[in-house]
Structure 1
Amino acid sequence: MLYATLKLLHILSIVVWIGGMVFAHFFLRPALLQLPPPQRLPLMHGVLQRFFSAVLVAIGVVLVTGLWMIGRVAKESVQAGLSFNMPLDWTLMATLGLVMMAIFGHIRFALFKRLSKAVAAQDWPAGGAALGSIRTWVSVNLAIGLVIIVITLLMA
């Protein structure tokens, strides 16, 4: 029961992260392009601030639950007298997940900081540039996230 609960939390956290990127990239951003920069950038800043806070929590949940599930299977293998060899799909999922987390760190702690400063200064060209960089890296993370989903579903 504990394993199933942790797996559920793991997947729900990923749904929040990937789903949020899909929503922001394909639905929110195009709709906001109708607004002028002095309205669009502060609104997008507020949305991203809330979303990035949720992603930080989701990342924490993904890390804790993922490590616990891998550790549990490894422990059970060793207790049964077997060696533990992590399956290839788990290895790819974990590796690409860590890459996504590193990219998110760059987005949140470097690019979003630039956006925050630009919005506070009402420097709309700098804010637009920061938002463009965020969009590019979110696209990369979204692509990696989709690759992870495909790998885990097709290799399982």
Structure 2
Amino acid sequence: MIYATLKLLHVLAIVVWIGGMVFSHFFLRPAAMQLEAPVRVRLMHDTLQRFFAAVLVAIGVVLVSGLWMIGRVAKESVQAGLGFAMPLNWTIMAALGIIMMLIFGHIRFALFKRLSTAVAASDWPAGGAALASIRMAVGINLALGVVIIAVTFWMA
């Protein structure tokens, strides 16, 4: 029961993270491009601020649940007298997930800081440049997230 609950929390946290990136990248940003720069940059800043707070929580849930599930399976294998070798798809998932978390850290604590500084100074060109950098990094993270999902299903 605990394993199933952890797996559910893990998947829901991934849905929040990946789904939010899809929404922002393919729906919100293109719609916001029709707005004047001051309105667009403020809207994206405020939206991303809320989304990034949710992603920080999601990352915590993903880390704790993922490590707990791996540890639980490893412990059960060892207790049964078997060795534990982490499956390849879990290894790929964990490695790419850590890379995604590091990229998110750069987005949240470096690129978003630039955006916040630009918004506070009403420097719309700098805000647009910061948004472009965020968009590129989010695109990379989204691609990695899709690869993780594909590997998880294809190698299951």
TM-score category, normalised to shorter length: over 0.9
Measure, in 2, the Cα distance between the counterparts of 1:39 and 1:152.
Answer: 40
Measure, in 1, the Cα distance between the counterparts of 2:45 and 2:126.
Answer: 13
1:125 paired residue number: 125
1:31-75 residue CA offsets vs partner (Å, 9 max, x unmatched): 000001110001110000000000000000000000000000000
Q: Could you tell me which amino acid in structure 2 is paired with residue 16 of structure 1?
A: V
1:80-100 residue CA offsets vs partner (Å, 9 max, x unmatched): 111100000000000000000
> How many residue pairs are counted as aligned between the two chains?
156
Measure, in 1, the Cα distance between the counterparts of 2:78 and 2:22.
Answer: 40
Q: How does 1:48-87 map to 2 (within 5 A)?
A: 48-87=48-87
1:38 paired residue number: 38
Q: How does 1:3-152 map to 2 (within 5 A)?
A: 3-152=3-152
Compute the displacement of 1:143 (Å): 0.1
Compute the displacement of 1:132 (Å): 0.2
| TM-score, normalization by structure 2 | 1.00
Q: Could you tell me which amino acid in structure 2 is paired with residue 43 of structure 1?
A: L
Compute the displacement of 1:106 (Å): 0.1
Indicate the RMSD between aligned Cα atoms, in angstroms: 0.3
Structure 1 residue ranges (4+ consecutive) displaced by more than 4 angstroms after TM superposition: none
Measure, in 2, the Cα distance between the counterparts of 1:12 and 1:71.
Answer: 20
Q: Could you tell me which amino acid in structure 1 is paired with residue 76 of structure 2?
A: E
Compute the displacement of 1:108 (Å): 0.1
Measure, in 1, the Cα distance between the counterparts of 2:36 and 2:149.
Answer: 36
Report SS of the residue matched to 1:82.
coil
Q: Could you tell me which amino acid in structure 1 is paired with residue 80 of structure 2?
A: A
Measure, in 1, the Cα distance between the counterparts of 2:87 and 2:125.
Answer: 47
Measure, in 2, the Cα distance between the counterparts of 1:57 and 1:111.
Answer: 19
| TM-score, normalization by structure 1 | 1.00
Gaps of 5+ in 1: none
